[in-house]
Every structure is written in structure tokens, then in C-alpha cells.
Structure 1
Amino acid sequence: MKFLKTVLILVALFAGAAHAQSTMNHGSGAMPMGEAKKDAAAPEASMADGEVRKVDKEAKKITLKHGEIKNLDMPGMTMVFQVKDPAILDKVKAGDKVRFTAEKAGGAIVVTDIQPAK
């Protein structure tokens, strides 16, 4: 009887350890199935919709009427943004519908990428 209890305890311990090991990542860099697909779409998902109201190449700024910017937890509004690379201002003109990415940098919100809306 004592032997049977010992065997049952060992089986329970090994089953618990095996379950814990199968659910942990152990720093291997492996992702559960489905997360790789989610990360691949992340750049597109972080883009916001907007309409160019004004392009100021001298000041390196753009005025956008935009929808929600999810990564900044910002509701839709019209505002002036700095741009990370002034060359992106050559891609757009007032009235263009765009998708853009913005992030906080140095106390300002900066447009880091802008593409024509599809």
C-alpha cells in the first residue's frame, strides 16, 4: 500500500511538471502558434487613417485630420505633427487620404511613416 501511494505521488508530480514545462516558454524565443501571425501584422495595425490638411516643408511639419491612433491611445482630431524624416513630406499634398504611423519622441508626437490610403 505504501508503495502504491509513493507511485501515485510521483506520477502526479511528473504530470504536473510536464504540464508546466509545456506551457512555459523558457526563453527559447519560441512563440505559441498564432502569435507570429499577429506580430507580422503589427506594423499595419499600428497605422492610423488620416487626411493631409497642410504640408509645411520649411518647418518639417504636417497637419493631419486623423482617426484614432491606437498605439498612442489618442482619439481622432486635427493636429500638427513633426516628421522623423522630412523626405516623407514629398510623398503627400493637402487633401490626400493617408495611413500613417506616429510615436512619441523627445516630448513630441512624430510621424515616422506615411503611405497613400488604399
Structure 2
Amino acid sequence: MKILIRAFSTLALALAIGGSALAQEYVKGEVVKVDAKQKKLTIKHEPLTNLDMPAMTMVFVVAEDGMIEKVKAGQAIEFAADRVNGRMTVIAIK
């Protein structure tokens, strides 16, 4: 049953973000903190024009669990973000 729930959750997330990662503008940022347990990244970033947000440091959830394992605090990244289910979400990392 847990596998079925996870599969449906993954499908719902994929449908929610659709092809957004391909259409999104990547911005530069620096990972300030990684919270693997909560699946959150604190990122100091450039302006997010697609979200009409100035440069700042803020907390994002990640769209996929594997993203957390790819980064560490102090690392420079390029990422795309969007609102997914009302939450600021990292949808792609280069």
C-alpha cells in the first residue's frame, strides 16, 4: 500500500510541475543550509523573475528526494524554482 501511495504522490507531483523545469529560468544561488530530514534547502539566490521575487535568502522544499543528496552547504548552484501546491519548491538543480 505504501508503494502505491508513493507512486501516486510522485505522479501527482510530476503532473503539478509538468514541463516546468524545461521552461524555467535557472538562477544562481548558494546553498546556505541543507535539512535532509525536512527535505528543505536554504538558498541565497539571485532574483527569481518567474516568481517576482528579489534576491534574498529563503527556504525551499525540494521536488524530488534525490536533490538533497546532490548539494551541500556552501555549494554554488544553478536552480529553477516554482510554486508547487502553494510551497516554494526547487524543481531543478544544475
Q: Which category of TM-score, normalised to the shorter sequence, fits these structures?
A: 0.7 to 0.9
TM-score, normalised on structure 1?
Answer: 0.59
Which structure dedicates a bigger proportion of its chain to helix?
A: 1
Aligned length: 74
* Offset at residue 45 of structure 1 (A): 6.7
Runs of 4+ in structure 1 over 2 Å off:
none
Secondary structure, aligned partner of 1:88: helix
Change (3 A) 1:78 1:44: same
Equivalence for 1:62: 41
Indicate whether 1:87 and 2:66 are aligned.
yes
Q: Which sections of structure 1, spanning at least 5 residues, go unmatched?
A: 1-42
- Which structure 2 residues correspond to residues 17-36 of structure 1 after superposition, within 5 A? none
Tell me how far 1:49 sits from its aligned partner. 0.8
The C-alpha deviation readout for 1:3-32, integer Å capped at 9, x for no partner, is xxxxxxxxxxxxxxxxxxxxxxxxxxxxxx
Provide the identity percentage: 44
Structure number with the higher strand fraction is 2
Q: Work out which of the two has the higher radius of gyration on C-alpha atoms and give 1 or 2.
A: 1
Instruction: Please name the residue that 1:103 is paired with.
Output: 82
CA RMSD of aligned residues (A): 1.7
Separation in 1 of the partners of 2:23 and 2:62?
Answer: 19
Instruction: State the shift of 1:70 in Å.
Output: 1.2
Q: Normalized against structure 2, the TM-score is what?
A: 0.73
